[in-house]
Amino acid sequence: MTFMAWLNRPWLHFLVLGILLFLLQGALFPEPKPVIGPLAPERLENMLQQWVTTTGRPPTTEQQQRLVQSELDRDMLFQRALEFELHLHDTVVYQRLLRNMRFLGLGEGASDQVLYEQALEMRLHLGDEVVKRRLIQIMEQLLLAGYPPAPVTDEQIREEFEQRTVELRRPQRLSIEHIYFARPREAEAESVIATIEQQQLTPRQAREFSSPFLPGYQFDYQSPDQLARHFGAAFVKNLLEAEPQARQWVGPVRSTYGLHYVWVEAVEPERDATLDEVQGLLRRDLESAARTNALAAAIENMRELYEVRL
């Protein structure tokens, strides 16, 4: 049989025509993409209320758009995880569904496997926020495995260090001990201070004159912010205004609690940080930013698989 005769076979014509029709159907009438969104009104209202509760103010239009997009991205990641059937292979999801079944009092006396299968049949995994967070977390890890962030270089760390010099500046630090006079004893402060000076008592020796102070009496290498957490902002302001010098007593210094006679052991002035001091911090920040950017790029690519409705 010649080649031309073979090409004239009717069954071959039907086969070629069928393949062409199949390809045209896929090109002209593609399968509809899964739809993500829009958010239900009550869900959007809950998001906005949570924002107000956290920040104390309503979100701007731009902030609201970012909130909605972020929530839709979570839904998309969750949907993708379900399509991959990740919920069928994770022990955290397994244990969570068992816990929910027992909490609901369903399937009493049944084995764990039976309870788990019943939970899947009831679609409990679709409405559980813990399961959703877990599957989103797994999906993000899978995306990062496919879109790994670029490793941080020493040059990037040096550039980041130069750009954040002001932010990374090391604050003034003080090492102090103090004698505390609670408000009912404030009138005694002058005579006690005189005794300390006359007898040249050390801070530890002078502590017998102190009222109880729950945060303690000795504070080493503390920044003004750290001292403020123990004594209050008024104390720090009054202490710094007295221009404390190392190896000297200062005071009495008033705080919101009473009076303090303060021994200044050491004062370290404010200074620029060195690269060695902050290199670990900068590397972690840059790695976190690289991870965030890589994940954002992966999610952006994933959006092509869905019809996302704002």
145-171 pLDDT per residue, tens: 988 998 999 999 999 999 999 999 999
Instruction: State residue 24's pLDDT score.
Output: 54
Instruction: State residue 5's pLDDT score.
Output: 56
Helix (H) or strand (E) holding 233: helix 233-241
* 179 shares its domain with 109: no
* pLDDT band at 22; cut points 50, 70, 90: low
- pLDDT at residue 23 tops 60: no
* 50 shares its domain with 89: yes
* pLDDT band at 18; cut points 50, 70, 90: low
Tell if the pTM clears 0.85, that is, is over it.
no
Q: Is residue 236 part of a domain?
A: yes
Q: Is residue 183 part of a domain?
A: yes
- pLDDT at residue 205 tops 60: yes
The mean pLDDT of the chain is: 87
Containing structural domain, residue 95: 41-146
Q: In sequence order, which residues have a C-beta less than 8 Å from that of residue 51 and are 6 or more positions away?
A: 58, 59, 63, 67
Spatial separation of the C-alpha atoms in residues 90 and 84, rounded to whole Å: 12
* 47 shares its domain with 123: yes
* 187 shares its domain with 239: yes
Spatial separation of the C-alpha atoms in residues 180 and 170, rounded to whole Å: 29
Give bridge partners of residue 179 from the DSSP assignment. 261
* 236 shares its domain with 189: yes
Average pLDDT score over residue span 89-103: 93
In the chain, the number of structural domains is: 2
pLDDT by residue (tens digit) across 228-276? 999 999 999 999 988 898 999 998 999 989 999 999 999 999 899 999 9
